[in-house]
Amino acid sequence: MNKYALALGGASLLLSVSVLAAQAQTKPPITPPEPPKFDAQGKIDYVGVADILEFKALPDYHEPDWVTKNFVASGKLPAVKDRLPKEPMVYKQGNMVDGLGVYGDTMRHVIGGRPEGWNYSAGQTQGWGGIDIGLSECLTRSGPLFQIKADELQPLPNLAKSWEWSEDGHTLTMHLIEGAKWSDGQPFTTADAMFYWDDNVNDPNVTPLNGAAPGSFGEGTTLKADGDYTLIWTFKDAFPKQYLYQMAYGTFCPGPAHILKPQHPKYSKNTYEQYKNAFPPEYLNIPVMGAWAPVEYRPDDIIVMRRNPYYWKVDEAGNQLPYLNELHYKLSTWADRDVQAVAGSGDFANLEQPESFVEALKRSASADAPARLEFGPRIIGYSLYPNLSANGWGEPDERGQAVRELNRNEHFRKAITSAVDRKRLGESLVKGPFTTIYPGGIYSGTTYYDKDSTAYYPFDLEGAKAELALAGLKDTDGDGIVNFPAGTAGGKNVEVTLLVNADYQTDKSLADGVVSMMEPLGIRVLLNQVEGKQRDALQQGGQFDWMIFRNQEDLTSVVQKTVNLAPIGPKTSWFHRAGEDGQVDLLPFEKELVDVVNKFIASPDAAEQKELMKQFQKLYTDNVYGIGLTQYPGALIINKRFANIPKGVPINLFNWAEDSIIRERVFVPADKQGKYELFPETLPGAPGDKGGPAKG
Ligand code: GLA
Ligand code: CA
C-alpha cells in the first residue's frame, strides 16, 4: 500500500529488521462478512406525516370524568376547552392500530438510572428510560418516523406546528402552537424557547442534557422571537433541513422559563452549579409540556408521574390525551427491567442486553405470558472510542496526554482494532444468530450502509503488534507491556483507562473482553467503571482515555443526531471536542469527515446524500475512527394489556421506543385495566409543593 511505502521511504534506515518483517504481515482490510440472517418480526405499515396528525379545532373536547368532577366543577381548573390551545394537535384515528382509546391505568416502567434533578436544560439527567421523553416536548419529533415513507421523511411537527423557508433558504420561520400551556397553567411561548437558546444552549457555562451547543444547529446560526408564537432561524447554508431533526429530542426541548429563569445566574445571585441543582428530584410537580408530570419521588424506590391537565394533544373525538393516567418509574436496574417486563410486574422494556435474550425469549414463548416480545433489526451496537483531543479537553495529566497522542496515531488505532476478536466478543454476550461483526461507523442493515465502502480489519494479533511497533511502541523492560518511548510519560508501561457505564451488564462484559484482548497485544487497560450518571459527566467533561459507548441515532438513522457524526462544532463529537480555546485539533482525515457531514447536512438531494455517506463510511472505517465492537438486534417487550402499540416499532432508530410508540395515544381497554394507579383521581400539584399530587 502506498501509505506504507511512503512511511518507509525516509525512515526505513531507522526501522529495525523485525519491524520490517512484522509489517509485511499486516493484513489489509477486507469488506465485512455477511451478518447471520435475522429478520425483524413486526412488519411496518408505512404512512405519510399527514396520516398521523394535524392541528385543528374540534367542536368539543372531553376529559376523564373525575377531572371534571373533582377539579373543574370546584373551580380549581378551567374547563378542558379553555385549557387546550386554539388548535390542539389531533392524532388521526386511521393511524391508531386499535382506534380511539379509553382513560385509565398506568404504564409501569423500571429503570437502572437515577435522577439528578429536573433541570435538563442545565444538563441534569432524570434517570433515562423515557422519563424525560414523557415530561418534555420538543420543537419537532423524531421517534415515530420509523413508520414514515422514505420519500416523505421529515421530522414531525410538535411544539412547532408548521414552518416555512425563505426563498434563499437562509431563514426558517417556525410557528409555535398557540395558546398551549405548561402543566401549571402558565402559557408556553417563544419566551421559553428563547430562554433555552440564549441562556442555556448559548451560555458557555451551561451544557443542556444531550449536549446541545450553538454548533448543534450549525455554526453562525441565529434564533430570534417575533411575538409570542413565531421563531425565526437564520442559517449560513441554504435550506439546511437536517437541523429540523436537531430540534427534536433531546436538543431543542425547552424547559419552563417561568420557573428556571429566576434561578439562572444571569437573573439571580446563584452560581451555575446552584442553577443546575435548583430542582432536585425532591422538587415535585415541575411544570412540563409533556403528557405526565412527576408528582412523587422516593429515593431508590420510585418516581410517579400523573397526567398533565393542560396537555395539548387530543384524539379525533376531542378526548384530551394522554389516555393513561399515570406512569411509574421504579428505580432498580436495567437488567431488572427485562426480568419484570417478562414476568408482568413491569410493563415495558427495551430488551437490549444480549445476556438476557435467551431467558427472555424462553419465558415469553408461552401463550399465557403476560408480555409480548418482538425483535427488530440489528440497530444496537457498541464501539470503543479513543479520546482524540490533544488540546486539553478534560485536562489530562502527562500519561493521559501521551495516550491522547497515541490515540491520534493511525497505527495505534489499527493495532487496537486488529487485536479485537469480534466473533469471540459477540459470542461472549450471547450465542446464536444475534450478534454480528461490527467494524465501526454506520450499521449494516440500515439505510445508509454500504458494504463496499466499509473497511474491516479482521482479527490479526501479529499484524496488530506490527502496527504497534509502527506507532513507536516497544516493550523496553520485557514485562510484556509496551512502553512509551523514552522521554514520553517517563518511558513507563502504556496503561490506558477505559471509561465504562457500570449500570449495564453488556457494557461491563464488553469492557472485560477489551481488557483481555489488549493484554496479549501488550497494552494494559484499567477499567474506570462508574454508575451511569457519573459516566455521562466524565464523558461530557472529556475525562477518559478510551470509552465503551452504546452508539446512538447518528449511526442508525444518520438523519437524527447527524451533527454528532464528526466534530463539525466544538462540542458535537462524542469523543473529540475543543479545548479551552474553542478549537478542535482535527486530524487530516477528520477534516474530510467534517466536510462530508457538513455537505450531507446542506444537501437537498437524497442521491447525493447517499453518496456522501459512502464517503463518510470509507473515511471512518479506513482510518479506524471509532473501533466498532459488536452489533445486534433489540426487542420491544410490552405487556399485552396495552393497545395502540404501532407495528414493528424498533427500540432505537430515530429515537428510543418510549418516544416511537407515542405513549400519549397508548391505552388499556376497560376490561383489561389493572389497579396500578398509586394516586388515583389526582393531578400534579403546585410546582415545588412537597405534598405531591393534588386531590381536587
Ligand atoms: C436508557 C435505556 C434505553 C432507553 C433510554 C431512553 O438509555 O437503556 O433502553 O430506555 O434510556 O432514554
Ligand atoms: Ca514494559
The pLDDT tens digits for 450-476 are 999 999 999 999 999 999 999 999 999
Give the pLDDT mean for 37-43: 88
In a domain, 40, yes or no: no
- Cell (9 digits) for 489: 510519560
Euclidean distance between CA atoms 680 and 103, whole angstroms:
12
Cα 302 to averaged position of ligand 1 atoms, centre (Å): 17
User: Which amino acid does the sequence have at 429?
Assistant: L
Three cell numbers, residue 336: 431488572
**Residue 596 and residue 614 in contact, taking contact as beta carbons nearer than 8 Å:** no
**642 pLDDT exceeds 80?**
yes
User: Is the beta carbon of 128 within 6 A of some atom in ligand 1?
Assistant: yes
CB atoms within 10 A of CB 227: 9
Last residue of a domain, one of 588, 611, 632: 632
DSSP codes of every residue in 25-85: TPPPPBPPPPPPP---SSPP--B-HHHHEEE---S--B--HHHIIIIITTTSS--HHHHS-
pTM given for the model:
0.95
**Where do we find the cell 502527562?**
398
User: Which of 250, 253, 276, 353 has the alpha carbon at shortest distance from 564?
Assistant: 250
Flag whether 158 is in a domain.
Answer: yes
Cell of 579: 479545548
Domain shared by 280 and 190, yes or no: yes
Cell representation of residue 478: 520485557
Task: Strands of 591-687 (E only): list them.
Answer: 627-632, 635-639
- How large is the average pLDDT for residues 657-683? 98
Is the preceding omega at residue 42 within 30 degrees of 0, hence cis? no
pLDDT at 25 (0 to 100):
53
How does strand 495-501 pair with strand 524-530?
parallel
Mutation probe of ligand 1 site: the residue of 656, 658, 661 with most atoms within 8 A of C-beta: 656
Cell of 443: 450499521
Among 140, 83, 139, CA closest to 321: 83
* Residues 422 and 364 reside in one and the same domain: no
Are residues 497 and 362 located together in one domain of the fold?
no
128 Cα to the center of ligand 1, angstroms: 6
Is 9 part of a structural domain of the chain? no
- Whether residue 16 is contained in a domain is answered as no
Please check whether residues 361 and 403 belong to one and the same domain: no
Q: What is the predicted pLDDT for the residue at 690?
A: 87
In a domain, 381, yes or no: no
249 Cβ inside 6 Å of ligand 1: no
Which pLDDT score, from 0 to 100, does residue 601 have?
96
**Residue 22, pLDDT above cutoff 50:** no
| Mean pLDDT of the residues in the chain | 95
Q: List Cα–Cα distances, 107 to 225, 436, 643, 676, in angstroms.
A: 37, 33, 12, 9
pLDDT, residue 40, reads 84
Mean pLDDT (whole number) for 86-95:
98
Beta strands in 282-334 (DSSP E): 292-298, 302-307, 313-315, 326-331
Distance 634 CA to ligand 1 centre (A): 12
Report whether 403 contacts 494 (CB < 8 A).
Answer: yes
Claim to verify: residue 545 and residue 514 sit in the same structural domain: yes
Residue type for position 502 = A
pLDDT one-digit tens code per residue, 267-296: 999 999 999 999 999 999 999 999 999 999
Q: Is the pLDDT of residue 19 over 60?
A: no
* Close Cβ partners of 364 (under 8 Å, ≥ 6 residues apart): 342, 371, 372, 373, 637
- Is the predicted pLDDT of residue 691 greater than 90, yes or no? no
Q: What span, in angstroms and rounded, lies between the C-alpha atoms of 83 and 73?
A: 14
Percentage of residues in the chain having pLDDT higher than 90: 93
CB 641 within 8 A of CB 655: no
Domain count, the chain: 2
At residue 26 the predicted structure's pLDDT band, cuts being 50, 70 and 90, is low
CB 315 within 8 A of CB 91: yes
| 577 and 643 fall within a common domain | no
Q: Are 70 and 148 part of one and the same domain? A: yes
Identify whether 33 is part of a domain: no
Residue 478 lies in a domain: yes
Of all atoms in ligand 1, which is nearest to the CA of residue 651? 9
356: left (phi over 0), alpha (psi -120 to 50) or beta: alpha
- Domain end, chosen from 590, 612, 632, is at 632
Confidence of residue 42 (pLDDT cuts 50, 70, 90): confident
For ligand 1, is residue 656 a contact (CB within 6 Å)? Answer: yes
For 357-366, the pLDDT digits (tens) are 999 999 999 9
First to last CA, the chain: 76
* C-alpha–C-alpha distance, residues 67 and 133, integer Å: 24
C-alpha span between 232 and 227 (Å, rounded): 10
Domain that holds residue 508: 390-632
Nearest CA to ligand 1 atom 1: 129
Instruction: Show the beta-strand stretches assigned E in 177-229.
Output: 222-226
CATH classification at residue 136 = 3.40.190.10
- 10 pLDDT higher than 50: no
Residues 663 and 606 in one domain: no
Which residues of 177-274 form beta strands (DSSP E)? 222-226, 230-234
Residue 667 falls within a domain, yes or no?
yes
Does residue 543 carry a pLDDT above 50?
yes
Find the helix or strand (DSSP H, E) in which 666 lies.
Answer: none
Local confidence band at 211 (pLDDT 50, 70, 90 cut-offs): confident
Q: Are residues 305 and 208 in the same domain?
A: yes
Do residues 655 and 246 lie in contact, with contact meaning Cβ atoms separated by under 8 Å?
Answer: no
Ligand 1 proximity of 334 Cβ (cutoff 6 Å): yes
d(CA 157, CA 312): 13
Residue 633 has a pLDDT of 96
The verdict on 456 and 570 lying in the same domain is yes
CATH number at residue 473: 3.10.105.10
> Do 621 and 641 sit in the same domain of this protein?
no
Domain check: are 626 and 641 in the same one? no
Query: Identity (one letter) of the amino acid at 199?
Result: D
Last residue of a domain, one of 616, 632, 648: 632
Measured in Å, residue 476 CA sits from the centre of ligand 1 at 45
| Mean pLDDT confidence for 294-317 | 98
Cα 408 to ligand 2 centroid, rounded to whole Å: 21
Residue nearest to atom 4 of ligand 1 (CA): 129
Cβ atoms of residues 213 and 201 within 8 Å: yes
Tell me the percentage of the chain whose pLDDT exceeds 70: 96
Residue 14 above 90 pLDDT?
Answer: no
Residues with a beta carbon under 5 angstroms from ion ligand 2: 475, 477, 479, 481, 483, 493
* Res 11 pLDDT > 50: no
User: How confident is the model over 137-147, as pLDDT tens digits?
Assistant: 999 999 999 99
Distance, in Å, from the CA atom of 167 to the CA atom of 173, rounded to the nearest integer, reads: 12
Rounded CA gap, 246 and 10, in Å?
47
Q: Is residue 350 within 6 Å of ligand 1 at its C-beta?
A: yes
Q: Which helix (H) or strand (E) holds 442?
A: none
Q: Which of 16-30, 530-544, 568-582 is predicted with the least confidence, judged by mean pLDDT? A: 16-30
Write down the H helix ranges in 479-587: 505-518, 532-540
The DSSP annotation for 348-376 comes to: EEEE--GGGHHHHHHHH-STT-SEEEEE-
Return d(Cα 167, Cα 296) in angstroms, integer: 50
| pLDDT at residue 36 is higher than 70 | yes
